Amino acid sequence: EKGTYPHFMLKEIDEQPFVMRRIIQEYQDDQDNIKLDEDVRQAVADCDRIYIIAAGTSYHAGLIGKEFLEKIAQVPTEVHIASEFSYNMPLLSEKPLFVFISQSGETADLRSVLVEVNKLGHKALTITNVQGSTLSRESHYTLLLHAGPEIAVASTKAYTAQMAVLAILAVDTAQAKGLTLDFDPMKELGIVANAIEALCDQNEKLEQVAKDYLSTTRNCFFIGRGLDYHVGLEGALKLKEISYIQAEGFAGGELKHGTIALIEEGTPVIALATQEHVNSSIRSNVSEVVTRGANACIISLEGLEREGDEIILPSVHTLLAPLVSVVPMQLISYYAALHRDCDVDKPRNLAKSVTVE
Ligand code: M6R
């Protein structure tokens, strides 16, 4: 039920700190160690490469998951769009592990890959919000998101939950391999929960951004580098699916190779700047688009801000910044859709669970 919320989407955005804390509880044992099915641990330890298969928002979580698995656990990882995989199946490694990421666990495009994977005799792990879902039943292993039912068509809390579970899986794998880590994942996810809570309390400011930048525009661009680029892709998807604004996410360094031609007087550009090592470069990209007339809104992380009018996110571990930086984008999309009189929870032409190929 929506309770006092006008829309499920807003309720689900607000639930994210709670979901983070539930994930911490579910994946932690009494000694504060990561609690994971021994079979899952073994399957990751035994593989030489992970192939993530997903669609839509879950695909975007997969892009972040790849960074976690490679940077934290040193496991080579590829991410594939499910509907493309059957035609573009890469040359598989000797011991592949397939990881299906799906909120619903019912997406047909993923299922057809899973059927193929099962025929080939490879191992499959499904990360899903729905226990007993088709993908969960038909794969060898399952990790649950514990996000609670997600009703709004636009996925929000499932995306942050997917990233949190992938981070835990990466840390567990690193620990099993004996790699040294300089952070405690559960403590860091707790910090993320608090940061999301602080942001959800600032939604008036984000509503104003939606009004100032998006109330009449035809298009909007999201730019970022590294993790911020991937989060920008998700920000763009959120905005287009519920507000029908043509939105695209671009890698900051790619602008000059073509897309900067799209910038006109007043084009809204939302720039993400949460990663210290690319802070200067993304800010140069912001200057490039502003010089050509863009109306830029910068979302940065505490300590990385440079201008007074930025949206500054509370400081969190740099790798976990996507879990926090997506929240202003969810809220901006929500308010943009609201101000443009769109049906926030049930956008046109879309279904919550896509059970056709
Ligand atoms: O249930 P799944 O995670 O497999 O669904 C995948 C996509 O259909 C889904 O993420 C879709 O893109 C959402 N509407 C995004 O908000």
Look up the ipTM and state it. Answer: 0.98
pLDDT of 87 over the 90 cut = no
Per-residue pLDDT, 289: 97
209 lines ligand 1 (CB under 6 A): no
Per-residue pLDDT, 88: 87
Would you say the C-alpha torsion 57, 273, 317, 208 has a positive or negative sign? negative
Considering only residues 202 and 65, tell me which one the structure prediction assigns the higher pLDDT.
Answer: 65
Distance 29 CA to ligand 1 centre (A): 31
CB 292: neighbour CB atoms within 10 A? 16
What SS3 class is residue 51? strand
Per-residue pLDDT, 246: 97
Instruction: State the average pLDDT over residues 32-50.
Output: 97
CA dihedral 205, 209, 210, 213 (to 10 degrees): 170
Would you say the C-alpha torsion 301, 326, 195, 79 has a positive or negative sign? negative
Give catalytic status of residue 352 as yes or no. Answer: yes
Long-range interactions of 3-7: CB distance < 8 A, separation 24+: 7/152, 7/334, 7/344, 7/345
pLDDT tens track for 149-187:
999 999 999 999 999 999 999 999 999 999 999 889 999
17 within 8 A of 190, measured Cβ to Cβ: no
Report residue 351's pLDDT band, with 50, 70 and 90 as the boundaries: confident
Would you say the C-alpha torsion 39, 40, 41, 43 has a positive or negative sign? positive
Instruction: State the average pLDDT over residues 23-35.
Output: 96
Q: Give DSSP secondary structure letters for 91-118.
A: PP-SSEEEEEEESSS--HHHHHHHHHHH
* Whole-structure pTM value: 0.97
58 lines ligand 1 (CB under 6 A): yes
Task: Count, in order, helices (H) and strands (E) of the chain.
Answer: 13, 10
What is the rounded distance in angstroms from the CA atom of residue 60 to the CA atom of residue 212? 27
228 within 8 A of 67, measured Cβ to Cβ: no
354 lines ligand 1 (CB under 6 A): yes
pLDDT of 355 over the 90 cut = no
Q: Any idea which residue has 């590294």 for tokens?
A: 226
Question: Which of 104, 128, 144, 345 for a ligand 1 pocket mutation test, highest count of atoms within 8 Å of Cβ?
Answer: 104
Per-residue pLDDT, 264: 95
Q: Give DSSP secondary structure letters for 226-275.
A: THHHHHHHHHHHHHHHHH--EEEEEEGGGGGGTGGGG--TT-EEEEEE--
Paired tokens of 227: 């993790």
Instruction: State the average pLDDT over residues 24-42.
Output: 96
Instruction: State the average pLDDT over residues 332-344.
Output: 95
What SS3 class is residue 80? strand
pLDDT tens track for 118-150:
999 999 999 999 999 999 999 999 999 999 999
Distance 123 CA to ligand 1 centre (A): 23
Burial class of 149 by CB neighbour count within 10 A (0 to 12, 13 to 18, 19+): exposed
* CA-wise closest residue to 107 among 87, 78, 77, 127: 127
103 lines ligand 1 (CB under 6 A): yes
